[in-house]
Amino acid sequence: GNQQTITQKTKYFTPDINNDGSKIVAVNYKADGKCELHVLDATSGSLLKNIESSEINVFTDPKFIDDSSIVACARFRDGQMSLVRADISGSLTRLTPPSYHVIGFPNVQNDKVYFTASFDGNDEVFMLQLSDKKIFQVSNSSTGNYFVNASGNNLVYSNFTADGYQLKEIGI
């Protein structure tokens, strides 16, 4: 495929592209340290929407749920984290209760968000149902599990071992 630069002199991190390839969402860090989600036109790079919150210090790992909403990890001013849903309209909704546990690496498949969290002291893969916000633990190991990817009826994730990361696959 072709590669093209769509922005210049910007600080964008962890971008995601929507299903039809028309929009990109990325974390933007401004010179003053302020963190925002930017929704960009994938062709021109123009800013379509700036999503920010005075309660949130840092957004990480944004992923499109659909064309009008995004899931991201958020660290609040008090240090707690939560998965949040950001609508293109600008509204933010907490999907998980704020906690001092680390949350990251979300992956969206249909009505489910798979992510890594340290709720029980170890980094495990969890699944959040968007319809009712119920959370289920998916993995269980003595070391951390990261970078989950859901496709069809399978989950693939990286399991940390003494020999480095090992891919694991489980049915869902």
CA distance 13 to 62: 9
Question: Quick check: 25 and 15 in contact, CB under 8 A?
Answer: yes
Across 44-68, average pLDDT: 96
Percent of the chain residues past pLDDT 90, beyond the cut: 86
CA distance 154 to 169: 7
* Structure confidence at residue 113 (pLDDT): 98
Q: Is the pLDDT of residue 1 over 90?
A: no
* Structure confidence at residue 3 (pLDDT): 86
CA atoms within 13 A on the CB side of 59: 32
For 121-171, what is each residue's pLDDT tens digit?
899 999 999 999 999 999 999 889 999 999 989 999 999 999 999 999 999
* Structure confidence at residue 120 (pLDDT): 86
Place of tokens 């592209």: 17
Higher pLDDT among residues 31 and 35, named by residue: 35
* Structure confidence at residue 98 (pLDDT): 97
Question: Quick check: 28 and 35 in contact, CB under 8 A?
Answer: yes
* Structure confidence at residue 90 (pLDDT): 83
For 5-21, what is each residue's pLDDT tens digit?
899 888 899 999 999 99
User: Rounded to 5 degrees, what angle do the CA atoms 115, 83, 149 make?
Assistant: 20
Question: Quick check: 62 and 14 in contact, CB under 8 A?
Answer: yes
CA distance 76 to 67: 25
